[in-house]
Chains A and B, each alone.
Chain A
Amino acid sequence: MEAQKSGEKFVVPIGPQHPALKEPGHFEFTVDGEIVTGASVRLGYVHRGIEKGTEDRTWTQNIYLLERICGICSHVHATAYVLGVEKLAGVSAPPRAQAIRTVTAELERIHSHLLWLGVAAHEGGFDTLFMYSWRDRETVMDLLELISGNRVHYSANVLGGVKFDLDVDKMDAIRRGLDFLEERTHHYMKVVTTDETFLARTRGVGLMTREQAETLGAVGPTARASGVQRDIRIDAPYAAYPDFPVQLITDSGGDLLARFVVRLKELFECYRVIRAILDQIPEGELTTRVPRRIPAGETISRVEAPRGELFYYIKSNGGEKPERIKVRTPSLCNWGTVVSVAVGHKLADMPMLLAGIDPCFSCNDRMVRVNRDQSSQLWSWEDLRQYGIKYYR
């Protein structure tokens, strides 16, 4: 795992770990003085073996498994999956169900972006912003709980439709919640774009040109912040997006600041789209029948998760269980960008840089290996985070 090319390096694990611990760090940075000269990534702490697991569960059971790939964007996973299976079955969920799926998806995007705002702020030491954004996020958590019964893993989808309806009272509650959040988002936009300490850690940092973003395969807000015009809701609209289109939000800055601005602007677009759907929600059924055995075939389902394009490949052999399901999460695309962009930056910028792609922060216990001159140290994420905060003080 260490950069074997550099010859004289040897591994000396130092830090609050057992001396004999041989630990694959999530990230490995090689530094020359303060500047990062090499970076690599090793995933796998959260690898559970889900794709294999899907082959052993029925089509319906898989909804519950796939939702739990990620607790932050569970609904988009379920949505991508059911849309794909419905395609194979040759059915279409009724319009009201698609509308409810879309409202839930946009509410999820709101919760995800606010969560990210807090976490990214926390990485930079801006804990007040973290507390405020997570407090405000409780509003959208309440709304999700109101409509679905759970704060996380709302489980809105069934094959062929949705489980719950939105009556007039719930729609009013959603509207009131959105009004509050919209006002708060204006405030966050102001902080992010005018606070000097914040700008010092984000403006010009992590610069990625449009060409780099495209070559490196970036997706989602990370790519759009570098001017890449890619959003599955617009490129290949699904669910209710054909009837309730969203605007493309991009920024030409390409730096960390741009990534903050894009996500905040996307929040405004979420509020607008949800209101538009609620005002004109189609009447009708919530589900349509889907057979227990799904006809043989293959399909590809792409949706826009809060982090970017989520890709599902689903193959049926005509039975009660899938033959193969392949899931490519947006974070996998974006890791590559970090590893490339990190080079040339200061080690102190790494926490914010990584936060900038909105990774699934699978453990706040990520280990980082830092290679400097001839030593190699194992740092905890907290070490790296504190390092960044102190550097910029």
Chain B
Amino acid sequence: MDSQTALQTAEKLLEPYGMEMIRQDDLRLDVLLSPDQLHEAVKALHDARWGYLSAIAGVDHPAPCEDAVASGGIDQEKKGQVEVLYVFCQGAAVLTLRVKVPYTRAELPTVCDVIPSATLYERELMEMFGVEIRGTPVKDRLLLPDEWPEGVYPLRKTTMIGTACSSSKDEV
């Protein structure tokens, strides 16, 4: 199946679910979904044997600076969002499912019941971005050490971290 046909097939498969479809270039299609549509969309791709899941990438969208400053930092917690990209590949064609969740309700359903190999990606997303994945089989930390404080998500922009051991060797 050549890339153009592949992407057209993907568009048709995801029509019932996608809020918006964007052709980024001739090899890339982005499909914006709401969190409730994610699981069904992934299942549709899987059942049609469209490509394979290549990666799950989190992208932080912190609250706009002006809002954050004006509200004394409180709005940061309310207005920030995490965008999660589920990237599927079929040959050279790249299909990205994009879901956004607000910090205040950072939850997504697992896709591990459909794609078991997603467990490591989901674990990484949880610890790095603080997105709760409901139903994921393993919730242990994958990369961060046990003593890493709860609630500190390294890849959120609001998390400013220096070297692990600065002047005070007692801090982590």
Binding site for B on A (CB under 8 A): 1, 24, 40-44, 47, 49, 51-52, 214-217, 230, 235-236, 298, 300, 302, 309, 311, 313, 315, 324, 326, 328, 332-333, 335-337, 340
Partner of B120, one of A51, A298, A335: A335
| Contact present for A1 and B140 (CB under 8 Å) | yes
| Contact present for A217 and B144 (CB under 8 Å) | no
A309 to B54, CA, bound (A): 8
How many A-B Cβ pairs are below 8 Å? 79
A214 to B117, CA, bound (A): 9
| Contact present for A336 and B54 (CB under 8 Å) | no
A248 to B52, CA, bound (A): 18
| Chain A residues, Cβ within 8 Å of B87 | 300, 311, 313
A298 to B119, CA, bound (A): 25
In the complex, whether B59 has a CB less than 8 A from a CB of chain A is yes
Give the residues from 92 to 144 in chain B that come closer than 8 angstroms, CB to CB, to chain A: 92, 94, 96, 115-121, 128, 138, 140-144
* Shortest CB distance B127–A (Å): 10
Known: A52-B154, A235-B92. A311 touches B54 (CB 8 A): yes
| Contact present for A49 and B154 (CB under 8 Å) | yes
| Chain A residues, Cβ within 8 Å of B143 | 43-44, 47
> Given contacts A217-B52, A217-B118, A313-B55, could you give 13 more A-B pairs where the C-beta distance is less than 8 Å?
A51-B128, A52-B154, A215-B115, A215-B116, A216-B117, A230-B52, A236-B27, A298-B24, A311-B55, A313-B57, A333-B117, A336-B116, A336-B119
Nearest 9 CB-CB pairs, A to B? Answer: A217-B117, A236-B92, A328-B55, A326-B57, A47-B143, A44-B143, A336-B117, A235-B91, A311-B55
* Shortest CB distance B157–A (Å): 8
* Shortest CB distance B85–A (Å): 7
| Chain A residues, Cβ within 8 Å of B85 | 313
| Contact present for A52 and B161 (CB under 8 Å) | yes
Known: A235-B92, A313-B57, A328-B55. A42 touches B142 (CB 8 A): yes
Partner of A43, one of B52, B142, B155: B142
